[in-house]
Amino acid sequence: MHTERVIPFWRLLIVLTLITLASPAYVGESQSAEQKVAVVNGTVINQPEFDNEMNRVLERLQRTGRFPNDLERSQIKKQVLENLIARELLYQESQTKGIKVDQKEIEAQVTALKGRFPSEVEFKNALSTMNLTEADLRFQFERDLAIRKLLDDQIGGKITVSEKESKAYYDNNLESFKKPEQVRASHILIKVDPEAEEAKKAEARTKIESVQAKLKKGEDFGALAKEYSEGPSGPKGGDLGFFGRGQMVKPFEEAAFSMKPGQVSGMVETRFGYHLIMVAERTPESTLSYEEVKDRLEQYLKQQKVQEAIAAYVETLQGKAKIERFVKEG
């Protein structure tokens, strides 16, 4: 299921980031105007908090290979500010409604986080790098848990997705549920740099041709791959598993998708070197059935409804709040 395709990546930032390790905002007006990005009912959201969150968002995008342009960065900047304001409004509302967080829950969160570090020293060093104390961290967890309890109470338990809704979404978005044609193939690779001297290339071709001769005599492809292949799949008999178009370099893909199961290719040259390819299976393009995706689809649609309900709830809180914004354009 590829439902994520319909949402531009910067729109995903609308989803509230409820678990972050940002410096907490503090009540009061004593900070200079340069340090404020917003004031929410008298509570300051400061520049370091905004900068930390902005950097985290950009780092997450870059780890997935997304490098936003200037227009997208501007949109992200606005959304980060609105998310911080929304989080503060939700926390304030949780306190207004008297929501309390059990200290055991906070302790469990801190213990879980500490467990991700090799030692207490490294944990404290990480906090120091983010300009956090353990008290700041506990406050952050307390705030996040209070917000979660508020949203569970006000929204979570009230959202449902009917069979009719999920089936209608499936019927209207069949393209999202298509599985492309795939092949399962193994290969034997003799590496050579495309810029190597001709003598090196000739040596590599001689190696692959000797393996090819063994195959023609009936020797097992997988055993030969384990013995001769210089690729990472060699120890597994050259097995690359299933893959679709666009996942392999072009010459390799063209050869694999032109073959029938059981066939072995001639020598195929790519930027990695020389390959012999054996196709084991092919699966045609197909569409996942409704029954196959039903549970995941219902979860996806429920998530969408929850996001919309949170946005509407925050909008209601904003209507009753005094909010000042200080972030400049650009």
**DSSP symbols for 243-304:** EETTSS-HHHHHHHHTS-TT-B---EEETTEEEEEEEEEEE--EE--HHHHHHHHHHHHHHH
> CB-hemisphere CA count at 13 Å for 170?
19
pLDDT on residue 25: 43
Contact of 134 with 293, CB cutoff 8 Å: no
pLDDT on residue 249: 95
Q: Could you tell me the two tokens for 24?
A: 């907490």
Q: Do 144 and 280 reside in the same domain of the chain? A: no
Percent of the chain with pLDDT over 70: 89
Q: For residue 93, what are the domain limits?
A: 3-170+290-325
49 within domain boundaries:
yes
pLDDT on residue 28: 40
Q: Do 197 and 232 reside in the same domain of the chain? A: yes
Q: Do 81 and 7 reside in the same domain of the chain? A: yes
Residue 76 has pLDDT above 60, yes or no: yes
pLDDT on residue 151: 93
What is the CATH number for 306?
1.10.4030.10
Q: Do 191 and 276 reside in the same domain of the chain? A: yes
CA dihedral 135, 137, 138, 139 (to 10 degrees): 90
CA–CA distances in Å: residue 218 to residues 189, 210, 211, 214: 19, 13, 11, 7
The predicted model gives 272-283 an average pLDDT of: 96
Q: Do 154 and 233 reside in the same domain of the chain? A: no
Using pLDDT thresholds of 50, 70 and 90, give the confidence band for residue 20.
Answer: very low
Using pLDDT thresholds of 50, 70 and 90, give the confidence band for residue 142.
Answer: very high
pLDDT on residue 60: 86
175 within domain boundaries:
no
pLDDT on residue 330: 53
Q: How far is CA 280 from the centre of its chain?
A: 31
Work out how many domains the chain is built from and give that number: 2
40 within domain boundaries:
yes
Residue 16 has pLDDT above 70, yes or no: no
The predicted model gives 111-126 an average pLDDT of: 91
Nearest to 324 by CA among 91, 40, 82: 40
pLDDT on residue 209: 96
Q: Do 244 and 151 reside in the same domain of the chain? A: no
The 8-class DSSP code of residue 181 comes to -
Q: Do 217 and 238 reside in the same domain of the chain? A: yes
Nearest to 211 by CA among 270, 256, 264: 264
pLDDT on residue 29: 42
The 8-class DSSP code of residue 142 comes to H
Residue 259 has pLDDT above 70, yes or no: yes
- Average the pLDDT over each of 7-16, 75-84, 241-250 and give the range with the smallest value: 7-16
Q: Do 143 and 191 reside in the same domain of the chain? A: no
Percent of the chain with pLDDT over 90: 71
Residue 129 has pLDDT above 90, yes or no: no
- Residue 28 CB partners (closer than 8 Å, separation 6+): 42, 44
176 within domain boundaries:
no
Q: Are strands 268-270 and 323-325 parallel, antiparallel or unpaired?
A: unpaired
pLDDT on residue 23: 41
43 within domain boundaries:
yes
37 within domain boundaries:
yes
In this predicted model, what pLDDT tens digit does every residue of 88-105 receive, in sequence order? 999 999 999 999 999 999
Mean pLDDT, all residues of the chain = 87
- Residue 209 CB partners (closer than 8 Å, separation 6+): 267
**Which residue's entry shows tokens 């200080």?**
326
Residue 15 has pLDDT above 80, yes or no: no
| Of 328 and 219, the one with more pLDDT | 219
- Residue 198 CB partners (closer than 8 Å, separation 6+): none
330 within domain boundaries:
no
Q: Do 189 and 149 reside in the same domain of the chain? A: no
Q: Do 197 and 162 reside in the same domain of the chain? A: no
Residue 74 has pLDDT above 60, yes or no: yes
Q: Could you tell me the two tokens for 200?
A: 């090196």
What is the CATH number for 203?
3.10.50.40
| β-bridge mates for residue 36, sequence order | 46
14 within domain boundaries:
yes
